[in-house]
Structure 1
Amino acid sequence: MLRKSVLTVLVSMALISCAGTAPATGASGQTTAPQKFAFGLWGDMPYKKAGDDVKLPAVLHSINQSDIAFSMYDGDIKDGSSKCTDDVYTDALKMFGSMKKPVVYVPGDNEWTDCHRLNNGGMDPLERLAHLRRMMYATPMSLGQTQMALEHQGKPGEKFVENTRFLHGGVMFVAINMPGSNNNLVLNAKSCSNKSARKAAQCDAANAEYLERDSANVVWMSASFAQAKAQNALGLVLMVQGDPGFDLPETEDMDESQAPGVSGYRHFMSQLVQQTEQFKGQVLFVHGDTHYFKLDKPLYNPGKVLPNLTRLQTFGSPSLHWVRVTVDPAASQIFQVHPVTVEQAKN
């Protein structure tokens, strides 16, 4: 598992190095170099209880007026203390449907993992996940007014359909359902029943779901890296919702990134490290859940940085902004990350 974050960069522009180029074939059959393009990152909005509804239109307008090819939304279409009723998902589809360019969505904990909470309606998270899969992934296409085809791990509406990938401009993009709340891993009886409508049997079912999905996630990630290598991809962008615990404090006696509260991420993150070590390109790991922008190089061994792994944490409620990433295949620094602050959404 990756350890405590270092080298935090909180600036308006940050450059991430990546080696290699991925040739593309034009209509004439000749090899052409990938072209420069940009994409957007956003998530953890709107939270109605935080008054985000009045801020959101400015953010959507900002993204729509930009020159991005597509955007990726890293989960949490609602806040964590409101009910998980069907209108939450239909409202999200309306939001994504207002976007001019394609939108790739990955689920967050607020729309399924945490639905067992009494203030969320005491609903069954696994039933909500099944509903989410049917609603949000009804076709193989992306969301948005302009759509693009995505490769899915599962069939429309079925298990793991939310895990997607696509190749664009010489970069492999991968979205994986790894949400907050410890990736749906229930640790003990207290965490099962605290402010929750769940019973022991439902907690056991949650842990079984975690194990099955975690294994599927690793398979999808590994296959995506293999495909990226086969395509000579410039880099790989991997998006999840949950914060896997990069920022937990470290003491002399204990590495807090190994704390039980983030144990649901350990297996996946250890596999991510192995895949990244064997990949010549740059890996941009994107997540939400913590609600403020951060770009850094996390430690994965004492005093050692994994050179080709960069973490990008996106904005979230009540700070409704987004992140624009430019991919320039001709530059030595191919990923150029620009936080976009929206004036009307400032606190």
Structure 2
Amino acid sequence: MHLFFHFLRTPLRALSFFACTVLAGCIRSPEPGTLSFAIWGDMPYTRYEREIALDMLAEQAARPIAFSLHVGDLKGGSTPCDDAVFADRRQLLERSAHPLVLLAGDNDWLDCRRAAAGGFDPFERLTHLRGTMFGDGRLDGALRPAVQPGVPEHRRWRMQGVLFVTLNVAGGKLPDDPRADALRTAARDWLDAAFDEAERTAAPAIVIAFHASPDFAAGGHSPRYGWLLGRIAARAASASRPVLLVHGDTHLHRADHPLRHPDNGTVLSHVMRIESHGTPWLGWAEVELRPGQAAPFRVTPHPYRRD
């Protein structure tokens, strides 16, 4: 019964949000010269959350954002990883009114090895995702991203000079497999190439998006994510341009500055982290990027309200 009334409310909620935004101006509009985008993910895990995802896409459609970034985990970790599930999620993402950038989450391929998820080979599922979610460019093609050969989930594009880059760094432990080593190497190379391009083109900022919530407290000494955080910290410490790290995985929305200098341990204040909302704390965040300003990132959370 609750789900039935939710279906009835969905178009009304989208209509009232549109009226509030466009007609009444009750949501603050971006300042001139800013670049805005949406961050969401770690959902939908259930049929009910799928309907909520449609609500959130309707809310995003009413905002003047450049694109929508889903941080990955399109399904629960124990939900079967069969082709039908991903076909359904592809149909959901195609409802986005804006270009949609997708990250590869652990639930989407790495955790498919779980018996409850079907006992798949993770890299076979990753290959399937590459063909169905990342291969045709229909979701984010309007951004005209560059794609790393052989790793189509690694993408890079520019807007107002700002450089955006996505990496396949999923939560969870990669298997002891040469394919895992190759994926880490590809991610390091793609990250370095992004920093090199930012230096060469004097990009006003760089935004790096990946799924996993890395061990910021351990930094470059993290057993699982040290290779990523150490490289980001070293590159960010040698340059003054602002860096934004976007990720999901623990489902708790937050915005802070957790990365530290690799040599002296001081906080790298020009490096900001934003983590997405996720089930059961659903919502999305709108990021305003003001290139050229000392503090260029402003975050407005939009928690989902079950009214």
**Could you tell me the TM-score, scaled by structure 1's length?**
0.74
In the TM superposition, what is the alpha-carbon distance from 1:300 to its structure 2 partner? Answer: 2.7
The SS at the match of 2:251 is coil
8 A contact 1:77–1:92 mirrored in 2: yes
- 2-structure distance, mates of 1:137, 1:228: 24
Q: CA deviation at 1:226?
A: 1.0
Residue 267 of structure 1 pairs with residue 227 of structure 2? yes
Aligned: 1:305 with 2:267: yes
2:207 matches 1:237: yes
1:136 aligns with 2:136: no
**Structure 1 pair 256/65, CA: closer, same or farther in 2 (3 Å)?**
closer
> After alignment, is 54-63 or 215-224 more displaced?
54-63
Distance 2:216 2:223 in 1: 12
Q: Kindly indicate whether the alpha-carbon contact (under 8 Å) linking 1:142 and 1:150 is maintained by their aligned counterparts in 2.
A: no
Aligned with residue 168 of structure 2, among 174, 177, 182: 177
Report the RMSD for the aligned CA atoms in angstroms: 2.1
Structure 2 residue aligned with 1:336: 298
Higher relative contact order (Cα pairs below 8 Å, separated by 6+ residues): 1
Q: Which residue of 2 aligns with 1:62?
A: 59
* Counterpart in the other structure of 2:148: 153
User: CA 1:164 to 1:72, structure 2 compared with 1: closer, same or farther past 3 Å?
Assistant: same
Is the contact between residue 285 and residue 299 of structure 2 (CA under 8 Å) also seen in structure 1?
A: yes
Question: Secondary structure of 1:77's partner?
Answer: coil
2:157 aligned counterpart, secondary structure: strand
CA contact (8 A) 1:59 1:320 kept: no
With over 3 angstroms needed to count, the CA separation of the structure-2 counterparts of 1:228 and 1:292, relative to structure 1, is: same
Q: Report the AA paired with residue 82 of structure 1.
A: T
Matches within 5 A, 1:88-103: 88-103=85-100
Bigger fraction of residues in helix = 2
Instruction: Kindly provide the amino acid, as one letter, of the partner of residue 290 in structure 1.
Output: T
1:44 aligns with 2:42: yes
Amino acid corresponding to residue 35 of structure 1 in structure 2: G
Q: Deviations over 1:300-328 (max 9, x none)?
A: 35752112211111100112211101122
Alignment of 1:163 with 2:154, yes or no, is yes
Residue equivalent to 2:107: 110
* 1:56, distance to aligned residue in structure 2 (A): 2.1
Q: CA deviation at 1:331?
A: 4.1
Distance 2:106 2:194 in 1: 24
Q: Indicate how the Cα distance of structure 1 residues 125 and 289 shifts in structure 2: closer, same or farther if over 3 A, else same.
A: same
8 Å CA contact 1:322–1:339 kept in 2: the answer is yes
Q: Residue 325 of structure 1 aligns with which residue?
A: 287
Deviation at 1:149, TM superposition (A): 1.2
Relative to structure 1, the CA distance from residue 332 to residue 256 in structure 2 (aligned partners, 3 Å threshold; closer, same or farther) is closer
Quote the residue 2:77 is aligned against: 80
Q: Is the 8 A contact 2:256 2:274 kept in 1?
A: yes
Q: Partner letter of residue 321 of structure 1?
A: G
Per the alignment, in what secondary structure is the counterpart of residue 174 of structure 1?
A: strand
SS at match of 1:271: helix
Distance 2:183 2:155 in 1: 14
Shift of 1:333: 2.5
Contact 2:204/2:241 (CA < 8 Å) preserved in 1? yes
Q: Which runs of 5+ in 1 are unaligned?
A: 1-33, 187-203, 248-254
| Aligned residue number for residue 190 of structure 1 | none
- Residues 92-143 of structure 1, C-alpha deviation per residue, up to 9 Å, x if partnerless? 211111001101111000010010101101111111011111111222x351
What SS does the corresponding residue of 1:340 show, helix, strand or coil? strand
- SS of 2:285's equivalent? strand
The residue type equivalent to 2:139 in the other structure is L
In structure 2, the partner of 1:286 is 246
Segment drifting more, 101-110 vs 290-299: 290-299
1:192-271 correspondence runs (5 A): 204=176, 207-246=177-216, 258=221, 263-271=223-231
Contact 1:328–1:335 (8 Å) recurs in 2: yes
CA contact (8 A) 2:219 2:259 kept: no
**Aligned-partner Cα distance in 2 for 1:299–1:164:** 23
CA distance in 1, matches of 2:66, 2:233: 29
Over 3 Å counting, the alpha-carbon distance change for 1:283 and 1:257 in structure 2 is closer
> Which residue is equivalent to 1:194?
none
Structure 2, unmatched stretches of 5+, are: 1-31
